Structure 1
Amino acid sequence: MQSKFAIPIVVLSVLGAIAFAAQWTIERQRVYSLTIATGNADGEYYAFATALSSVVAAHEPKIQIRVLETDGSLQNAKLLAESEADLGIIQGDTSLDPSVQAIAYLFPEICHLIAAPSANIRQFTDLRGKRVAVPPQGSGSYPIFKHFQTHYNLMDSDFRPLPMTTAESYEKLQAGEIDALFRVIALGSPSVRGLLQRTQAQLVPIDQAESMRLTLPVLEASEIPKGTYDGALPIPDEDIPAVGLRAILVTRRDLEPAIAKVITQTLFEFRNELVSQYPRAALMRLPDARENLGLSLHPGARDYYNQDEPAFLVEYAEVMGFLLSFAVLAASSLWQFRRWLDERQKNRADMYNLKVLALLEKVEQASTPEELESLRQALFEMFHKVVTDLDTDRISQASFQSFTFPWDVVLSTIRHRELLMSRAMDYKDQKPEMRR
């Protein structure tokens, strides 16, 4: 019977091992093809995604990322929600489907208000009566401009908003057909540099970032440093206040955690390679635990961010050591204080006992009832003091009990001495014949 079942069992075991090995080999050789939704081919999102795809492929050949040109954040969010893209780059204020999760903060994007040199625009409110190129409706930057417009109390009737693409706005500013343009773009953008150098256009300060955050928390106070777009002239000629928000790399919730972790790892551990292809990648930073990305972190990204967190005992070893040392010091101090208090109470009780013994000696030396009465009063005054000290914890209960014994002895001695003196006086007063 054993030989009858042995062969099938061996065959099944071998087949199972072969299947397991084949599955393992397939997984090892599997290539993950991902699509990242970006923006216009001449934009910052596209340039960053191209650099990321190149660096990921160099270190993880099994992950291939195809860079997809799109119209920007809103389309990227739609492609992710419809599972037509695996990754996407969005502005921090973009509304997303719950199925989309964050991987990392990327570079900051700065709100640029650029005015023609002859437009006499020095601040945002100077846009009244001007022709202003604004982002197209449906773009990620359009809601930001509308938010600024509301904040500065500008109505559409106060100026002439002209929705157009970035390339069109640059051409029309250079041709003198508009007075200003508004764009949200990465700091140091080559296209902005070229525009400013060609036209002598001016960067207009945008301040009040903190008050704008009250209604749009993703905004953050920033600045455009002196010389950002030309160090020789320089452009700008001084640091000017600005408002910015972060670009965020996002993915679908169903992306395998291991893949998301590899991409997150590439962003921060191979940053130098990213920077060599896209310099603004140097501005990436790890998310702060106190901040809110506006959406949840993908588990794979969270695994990477938490991998270096120490165990609880290690992380709080210093605090726990301090608390333990403090507890030991406090216990020692309490013990020392108790010893001091006990010693103080004992010394005070000993003082009373010595005084009682001194009274006892005086009682034995007293020769008149008046002296004994004076000693009795002193004895009761001392008893009153001892009771008061007992109530105020200046002596202990045990010390009080030890005091009452010699006190009773002295009181009994006084009474005995008084009796002897009374008998002696009675005897002295008797007639001589009665003494016989």
Structure 2
Amino acid sequence: MRRRAVTLLVVGLVILGSAAAAAVIHLLLGLLTLSIAVPANPEGRRAASALAQVFAAEHPRVRIRTAPVPDLAAAAASLDTRSSDLAIVRSDGAGQNSQTLAILRRDAVVFVAPAGRIDGVRALRGHAVGLLDGRPLDAKLLDLILQHYAVPPETVRRRVFTLEQLPEAVRRREVDVLFVVAPAASGAWLSLYAALRKGGEDRPRTFEIDEAAAIAKEQPVLETLDVPKGTFQGSLPSPGDDITTLSVSYRLAATAAMPDWLAGEITREVLTDKSRLAALDRDLAGIEAPDPDDKTQALPIHTGTAAYLSGNLPSLSDQMQNAVYWLGLVASGMASMGAAGAALYQRLRPRQPPTRVMRLLEIWLAVPDAEPRALDDLVAEADAIAAAAIRAEALGRAESTEMRLVTLLVSHVREAVRRCRMPAREHPQEREAASATAR
């Protein structure tokens, strides 16, 4: 019985160790599904689709699942609530729990005056500013710029248009200046200038934010951007001269709870396959690594990303080897503790006589008082018990002590039956002695 208990214990530990190893392998190399929160617009869907395709090609067991949200603010909020693993956020709308894995692109912040009458931010007081529909963060950014120039936001009228509505709005003079936030090399500028031409404006003026450096210093989530002459695509070179303006960055972000090895692996994949991502989505042509030395608390970098960029992040194979090493130590310790516990239990548990031994003892005690016709049944039962004990011994399921007791009791039963069948007149003293001993 002791050998059987030890065998079961070893088998249980092997099963437990295998399950733990499978869990670690599944965690490190198994099927992972990461949800990414993106705005529910064509721009957000293209970026998410590009990331999903690249990971499907390079990491077939890593899936990117798109989680559409209303806007960029909702995407950042999904990381704060941990309802998504990843999110595309804008630097001026990142949440408290957004940590950068990679910079996807930088958008220029510019003012375009259709009629060319306005040449600076301070001149916007009392005028109408046009905003593109579906971008609530643009309105907040406009307020921030106006406040820096001491222009009360309430003195500037707002008009929200789609590109399709813009030509008619320009034609009716419903807007004096457009506030646009878009990548410098984006095709959005071509559409914008085409809409202005339809409205009768062939020579719009693009003016710079001349205090961009001061604003960026006050607001670390913003940066300055030099835009060379003719950068924006259109029928005429725009801007007409080199300008300096503000920029915001779109970032692939995760929560601080994401393991460093996973964050580093995502960063590596995005940076090494940025050409493929750009081919899938032109807006991702400006992918770049965040600066690990940037200590700006407003836009923290994930520790896994920082470790990867500085070369201090162990590779995935190293992580796996470490995991297997520690798993082996834990399994070895558990096996040793289990074996020690089993041995201690075997030493301390109360010894109970085997059932076969107890039954043979009952048969032996019952022989003196049994009817002559019942003696054969008692002998047959004793023989059956002996046969069962021999089979158990052969299979390693019985202890040697039990076999000795079974052998002894079977011989006592046979001897008692033999004495009971002897004529009483032949050995009266022996019959009486055997009867007394049985009792």
Distance 1:57 1:173, change over 3 A: farther
Q: Equivalents in 1 of 2:301, 2:262: separation in Å?
A: 14
The share of aligned pairs that are identical, in percent, is: 25
Q: Please say if residues 92 and 218 of structure 1, whose CA atoms lie closer than 8 Å, have aligned partners that are also in contact.
A: yes
Whether 1:100 and 2:114 are equivalent positions in the alignment is no
**SS of the residue 2:179 aligns to:** strand
TM-score, with structure 1 as normaliser: 0.61
- Give the match for residue 219 of structure 1: 222
Q: Equivalents in 2 of 1:254, 1:108: separation in Å?
A: 26
- Give the match for residue 15 of structure 1: 15
**SS of the residue 2:92 aligns to:** coil
**SS of the residue 1:263 aligns to:** helix
Q: Equivalents in 2 of 1:5, 1:196: separation in Å?
A: 83
- Give the match for residue 146 of structure 1: 143
- Give the match for residue 300 of structure 2: 296
Q: Equivalents in 2 of 1:198, 1:4: separation in Å?
A: 85
Q: Quick one: which amino acid aligns to residue 110 of structure 1?
A: A
**SS of the residue 1:93 aligns to:** helix
Distance 1:289 1:14, change over 3 A: closer
Tell me how far 1:58 sits from its aligned partner: 1.2
Distance 1:238 1:212, change over 3 A: same
1:240-319 to 2 correspondence within 5 Å? 240-293=243-296, 294-307=298-311
Q: Equivalents in 1 of 2:27, 2:101: separation in Å?
A: 24
**SS of the residue 1:213 aligns to:** helix
Rg larger in structure: 1
Distance 1:168 1:67, change over 3 A: farther
Q: Quick one: which amino acid aligns to residue 194 of structure 2?
A: Q
Whether 1:63 and 2:46 are equivalent positions in the alignment is no
Distance 1:158 1:297, change over 3 A: closer
Q: Please say if residues 79 and 254 of structure 2, whose CA atoms lie closer than 8 Å, have aligned partners that are also in contact.
A: yes
5+ long unaligned stretches in structure 2 = 197-201, 315-439
Tell me how far 1:309 sits from its aligned partner: 9.0
Find the partner of 1:127 among 119, 124, 131: 124
**SS of the residue 1:153 aligns to:** coil
The CA deviation string for residues 203-241 of structure 1, in whole angstroms up to 9 with x for no partner, is: 222221111123212322213322323376323333222
Distance 1:170 1:138, change over 3 A: closer
5+ long unaligned stretches in structure 1 = 311-436
1:19-168 to 2 correspondence within 5 Å? 19-20=19-20, 22-23=22-23, 26-27=26-27, 30-43=30-43, 45-97=44-96, 99-116=97-114, 118=115, 120-134=117-131, 139-156=136-153, 158-162=155-159, 164=160, 167=163
- Over the aligned positions, Cα root-mean-square deviation in angstroms equals 3.1
Q: Quick one: which amino acid aligns to residue 7 of structure 2?
A: I
Q: Quick one: which amino acid aligns to residue 31 of structure 1?
A: L
Q: Equivalents in 2 of 1:62, 1:132: separation in Å?
A: 48
Q: Please say if residues 134 and 161 of structure 1, whose CA atoms lie closer than 8 Å, have aligned partners that are also in contact.
A: yes
Q: Quick one: which amino acid aligns to residue 300 of structure 1?
A: G
Q: Equivalents in 2 of 1:4, 1:37: separation in Å?
A: 55
Q: Quick one: which amino acid aligns to residue 238 of structure 1?
A: D
Q: Equivalents in 1 of 2:123, 2:244: separation in Å?
A: 16
**SS of the residue 1:223 aligns to:** strand
The CA deviation string for residues 39-62 of structure 1, in whole angstroms up to 9 with x for no partner, is: 25233x443333222212211122
- Give the match for residue 363 of structure 1: none
Distance 1:20 1:109, change over 3 A: same
Q: Equivalents in 2 of 1:89, 1:181: separation in Å?
A: 25
Q: Equivalents in 1 of 2:252, 2:148: separation in Å?
A: 28
Tell me how far 1:110 sits from its aligned partner: 1.0
**SS of the residue 1:111 aligns to:** strand
TM-score, with structure 2 as normaliser: 0.61
Q: Please say if residues 194 and 234 of structure 2, whose CA atoms lie closer than 8 Å, have aligned partners that are also in contact.
A: no
Tell me how far 1:15 sits from its aligned partner: 2.8
Q: Equivalents in 2 of 1:277, 1:213: separation in Å?
A: 32
Distance 1:12 1:248, change over 3 A: same
Whether 1:187 and 2:184 are equivalent positions in the alignment is yes
The CA deviation string for residues 385-431 of structure 1, in whole angstroms up to 9 with x for no partner, is: xxxxxxxxxxxxxxxxxxxxxxxxxxxxxxxxxxxxxxxxxxxxxxx
Q: Equivalents in 2 of 1:19, 1:123: separation in Å?
A: 67
Q: Equivalents in 2 of 1:309, 1:254: separation in Å?
A: 17
Q: Equivalents in 2 of 1:261, 1:147: separation in Å?
A: 34
